[in-house]
Chains A and B, each alone.
Chain A
Amino acid sequence: MFCYYMKYPSQFTKLFFLGITLLASGCTQVSPWERGTLAKPQMALDPRPVLNSLNAHVYGSREAASGGGSAGGGGCGCY
């Protein structure tokens, strides 16, 4: 099976940026002094990057859809 977006890359990219634009237009302005909640550790996109990197490592060795999340990394570790 071929990936549909690999057949239609331009449509997919347009869709992606359309989504982003919609997303950005839907937000309210938050002044810097109103960002106390957002600055709490539990509100980080990844509150535990160190621990989660170990989990990602397990996913990478047991699931076909590995990597892709961030650039960088190497090695097999194919256990």
Chain B
Amino acid sequence: MAKKSSLHALTVAALALPGVLTSPAVAAEDNEASLQYGYYQEGERNTSGLANNLKPIHVDTLGSTGSLRLTDRIKLGFNYIQDTWAGATPITTAPLGLMIDGLTGASSHVNTGKNALVDKNFNPLKVDYKEVVDPATGQVSYPTVYTSSAQDKQPVHMMTSASPETRKQGNFSLGYEWDEAALTVGGGTSVERDYNSSFVSSNGRWDLNHKLTRLNAGMSYTNSDINAQRMSSAAGYIDYSRQSKSGDNAESPITGNRQDWAANIGLSQVLNKSALVETGLSVSHNEGYLSNPYKATTFIFKDPNQSHTIYPDNVFVAELTDALENRPKQRNQLTWDLRYVQHIAPVDAALHLDYRFFNDDWGIMAHTFAASWDQPLANGWSITPNIRYYSQSAADFYQPYFTFNQLKPVTSSGGIAYDQLPITHYSSDQRLSGYGVLSGGITVSKKFTKGIHLDAGFTYFNHAGGLKLGGGGEGSYADFDYYMVNAALTVNLAALSLGNQSNIDHAGHHQHHHSGHAPAGVMFDHMLPKAGDVMLGYRYMYGRQAGDMLHETSPVNDQTIAGQACAGGECTVAPTYMNMHMHMLDLMYAPTDWLTLMLMPQFVDMNMSMQSLAGISPVEVHKHATGGIGDTSAYALFKLFNNTSHHVHTAIGISAPTGDAAVQLTPGGHHGGVGGYIHYGMQLGSGTWDFKPSLTYTGQQDRWSWGAQLNGTVRMQNSNSSGYALGDVFQTSAWGSYSLLNWLSASLRGVYTVQGGIKNGFNGVHPTDATVDFANNYGGRYWDVGFGLNAMVPSGDLQGNRLSFEWLQPVSDDVNGYQLEREGALSATWSYAF
């Protein structure tokens, strides 16, 4: 009997174990939340000696996923991801001899127009003068010669840089589980300045054969709208006439719609006690505007019948034009993959082998081979080296540039007469070229007790035409490399409380008595109660400015702003709104009872819109976005006084300038065209080392708790690497809170903040047409009232998790110079102590 029940228990346990046939469509485990950060950085492109002062592209990605079991059978999942990218990528390609080298600061570009000399095979020609000595007379002459070097024939990218841009995507899924099957439906949306898409999907899972076999099937539909600005940095180079609609002018955006349908089926099979295999097939159909509105193709026209009155018969004048790429309006893709996992018993490792085959009707065939070795080590550590090889053939309509043995056909409006070209589809986007990518990396994971898991990885990629399977890839001019660093923190909210009840009770009890329920917007409001305690928290802060433009405490009109707010010059634009989002990780550890250490890395992202002031010739409304790692601060909290109802502690903190304080706009991309530093308020960090002291008092009696805090930020440098220092900050705050229920309390808070003005100013080029571009329009004195709610999950799977929200409502603004009024700020925190 005992044997039978233990066997039964084992069976149930084994079936319930996570990791057995985890479907790729099933993202997170139950009651799990994760936060991820990724950084992608590309290396310099090869511009064959042409000037290129543009920084290669880099991308900051922040993501979070979570899943919550609502009932035994119903599961809710969410995902959020945002990317911010900035930097240069190729816009088009042309032979080196047909490029113009960038002069002081400018980028090199295609020599468009009727300026180039080529031979009959489109090889670029250079004019030279050769010294010839007449052997009879000894007379020296310099007749004109036309030469073509191998280097001049070499294709080279024209690079263009983009101001920072952000994409945000959120999606939800709802799943219902039967004993041997599950069905999930979901949907979401992705928002960018120029590209909005919405999608729905459904996935089913069916376990058979005593859960040794799993079938998966899914479908999705995506609808996207493209609304892309014409690239002002390439104004005059690119012919947009094919994509233009009647009535369009030079400022009109490129618009389009695309729809994507995808379906996949998959099968996972346990082969034996230590191996399993998965295979899947997916198809997708894409329709609509599938081109990239930021990639152009260089057309070289040569009229074979041109008269050779100036140049000899073998020298032709060619006309170069760049046209926005034009891909087919349909694409069908097919992917087949095979994955195999083998346990390596002697070292308890797992070998993962993956292969993927891809083919589409654009002519691209790709193969991916990947292998990784997942090696667990002692104390919850594991290390996973991996290698991946990817190879693709070029799309049928891809060429680095296109040559036409004809006079450039033109329409009545001067654009290319596309119907008179021998081709319809063309792209020089190197992503459609033939190449291979070899990458290798390593992931280190650490599993902490109580359901906390940290993964960190680094991968280096080498992209090269020469790596294409079977040869024939793109030339080495297009080779580049890149790397990716990422980290993910995963917390199993239910596992945190499992086997940890005594600690929770203690922590909860302690926090209840000694720190009360400080509102969400108050940082460093409590210490950890005893040596060895750890707290993990996530803090989100959102602040918005919108409404009137203020001068000191009063709204001002556009005429005043235009004349007064730009340091003697004329302001042409003012902000209409600005949003700031901060995501912070709160890591606390108490080495002793009287000391708590705290580390707070953060990710920030901001966006804003500006428009012309009344009476100024209107410029287009423009929006800016920045985002990435912010400043990282570390604190030591010291206990000063503590009894059952009163507690005082002080925090000494240092903030390291890990946030970028030199974010730049693209020259030409901004209305004024100068580019340079994006204004002070949109920079990601202070750029200076900052000292951050605070003093906190909290008290508690029955259902009431209260507190007060003084905190400050002192810049320890007079200027950062961009030439300025933000003003010092002093803030004082007092609050009271009442427990409505044993798990819920409400709070009211008053806050007074003094923010000093900016010292010095940018040490380089920056726009000067908006109020926000001037250092004297920063800082002020502010009163706010905060309304908060604070909840602690009292029981159940999520016991001990604490959630707080606070809305900070501005009461009065007294600003330095001319600034947009504040609309409010939201703080939300989650924390868990153990």
- A contact residues vs B (CB 8 Å cutoff): 1-3, 5-6, 16, 19-20, 23-24, 26-30, 32-51, 53-55, 57-59, 62-65, 67-79
Contact = CB atoms under 8 A, between A and B. Distances in A.
A30 B22 CA distance: 17
Nearest to A36: B14
A40 B36 CA distance: 23
B83 A77 contact: yes
Contact of A32 (B203, B210, B484): B210
A24 B278 CA distance: 11
A6 B358 CA distance: 12
Give the 4 A-B CB pairs with smallest separation, nearest first: A75-B190, A68-B335, A71-B218, A65-B358
Nearest to B86: A79
Given A1-B363, A30-B212, A48-B445, A79 B36 contact: no
Contact of A74 (B190, B279, B352): B190
A44 B19 contact: yes
A3 B222 contact: no
A63 B390 contact: yes
Contacts of B211: 32
Contact of B19 (A5, A38, A72): A38
A47 to B, nearest CB: 6
B25 A65 contact: no
B639 to A, nearest CB: 37
Contact of B279 (A5, A19, A53): A19
A75 B166 CA distance: 11
A54 B36 contact: yes
A45 B337 contact: no
Contacts of A37: 273-274, 343, 345
B270 A50 contact: no
B396 interface: yes
B34 A50 contact: yes
A6 B194 CA distance: 34
Interface in B777-823: none
A49 to B, nearest CB: 6
A32 B16 CA distance: 10
Given A47-B374, A58-B40, A65-B364, A35 B270 contact: yes
B14 A32 contact: yes
A27 B272 contact: yes
B197 A70 contact: no
B38 interface: yes
B281 A51 contact: no
Given A58-B40, A72-B218, A74-B199, A50 B490 contact: yes
A1 B260 CA distance: 22
- DSSP majority for the A interface? loop
A64 B276 contact: no
Interface of B: 7, 10-11, 14-15, 17-25, 27-28, 34, 36, 38, 40, 57, 59, 61, 63, 65, 81, 83, 85, 89, 162, 165, 167, 169, 171, 186, 188-192, 194-195, 197-199, 201-203, 209-213, 218-220, 222, 224, 226, 260, 262-264, 267-274, 276-282, 284, 292, 294, 332-337, 339, 341, 343, 345, 348-350, 352, 356, 358-366, 368, 374-376, 382, 384, 390, 392, 395-396, 431-432, 437, 443, 445, 455, 457, 459, 461, 463, 482, 484, 486, 488, 490
A16 B281 CA distance: 9
- DSSP majority for the B interface? strand
A71 B396 contact: no
Contacts of B366: 63-65
Nearest to B192: A76
B273 A34 contact: yes
Contacts of A28: 271-273
B282 A75 contact: no
Contacts of A69: 24, 264, 280, 282, 335, 337, 356
11 contacts: A29-B210, A39-B17, A43-B341, A50-B27, A53-B63, A55-B486, A64-B366, A68-B358, A76-B197, A77-B190, A78-B195
B14 A51 contact: no
B392 A78 contact: no
B379 to A, nearest CB: 15
Nearest to B360: A3
Given A19-B279, A54-B38, A35 B190 contact: no
A71 B282 contact: yes
Contacts of B273: 28, 30, 34-35, 37-38
B270 A33 contact: no
A68 B284 contact: yes
Nearest to B292: A78
B669 to A, nearest CB: 15
B778 to A, nearest CB: 31
Contact of B212 (A29, A49, A55, A73): A29
Given A51-B457, A63-B431, A64-B395, A71 B25 contact: yes
A68 B331 CA distance: 13
Nearest to A16: B281
Given A64-B392, A70-B24, A77-B192, A38 B457 contact: no
Nearest to A1: B363
B14 A39 contact: yes
Contact of A38 (B260, B270, B281, B348): B270
Given A35-B20, A67-B262, A74-B224, 20 more contacts: A1-B396, A3-B360, A26-B271, A32-B15, A35-B270, A39-B17, A41-B18, A43-B276, A44-B341, A45-B21, A46-B22, A51-B455, A65-B390, A68-B284, A68-B335, A68-B358, A70-B218, A71-B262, A72-B201, A74-B260
